[in-house]
A and B are shown apart, each in its own frame.
Chain A
Amino acid sequence: MWKVLVLMGAALTALSGCAFEKVQPWDRDLLAQDKMQLVPFPLDNFYDEHINFSKEAASGGQGVGGGGCGCN
């Protein structure tokens, strides 16, 4: 009984990761920083996506246009 409980507890803690760590109101400035964004450098990302789209025959392109030659 207790073994199961302990195991469940351990599993739960491990699975939750940092999800229980609440972001405090006074720490929100850290989350808003550029380095915390999913895409910290939008322009860099734009060019990377463009190259990936045009050179690798990748589909999608995430809103990145072609090279202007009509050939992607």
Chain B
Amino acid sequence: MKLLTYFGILLASLGTVSVPAAVNEPAANFTLPTDQGTIELNKLQGQVVYLDFWASWCSPCRKSFPWMNAMQSRYGKDGLTIIAVNLDKEKDLAVKFLAEVPTQVTVAYDPEGKVAAQYQLMGMPTSFLIDRQGTIHRTHIGFRDTDKQALEADIQHLLKQ
């Protein structure tokens, strides 16, 4: 019987248990290349950061770009920084995507998915709203038109803090 328990524990431990980056925990720091030099998350403390992970093959991601552009232009002056982390293995695909969907937000490149693994994304796209202290305030998986209002309200709320 005891053996069975051990066996059960062994079985459970074999399945990789992934814990996604959680709300109210500090956002893990990273440094990634962008089109204008590198970006480091910790250097953005004091700003509200909307960290978005996307790829060219993901259609909700395509939908989120016009919204992110609007948010950046509306709240950029109040201290909002949007970082769109691209997870395409081939940069050409991202470049092609950005030619079709132009953006004003900062695009960072993580072709090996290192930061994506660090944040344990559960789906595409996933976004993290990080407050001025560098704490994750909200995580969001997917992007639907109906999500926009709640996300914007949260951004406004964090900008006031």
Contacts and interface: CB of A to CB of B under 8 A. Distances in A.
Interface of A: 1, 4-5, 8-9, 12-13, 16, 20-22, 24-30, 32
A16 B117 CA distance: 23
Contact of A20 (B14, B87, B116, B122): B14
Interface in B34-68: 53, 55, 57
Interface of B: 3, 6-7, 10-11, 14-16, 18, 53, 55, 57, 87-89, 113, 116-117, 121-124, 126
A28 B6 CA distance: 34
Nearest to B54: A26
Contacts of B10: 5, 8-9, 12
A12 B11 contact: yes
Nearest to B124: A25
| Best-surrounded residue of A9, A13, A32 (most CB of chain B within 10 A) | A9
B3 A24 contact: no
B121 A25 contact: yes
Contact of B3 (A5, A9, A16): A5
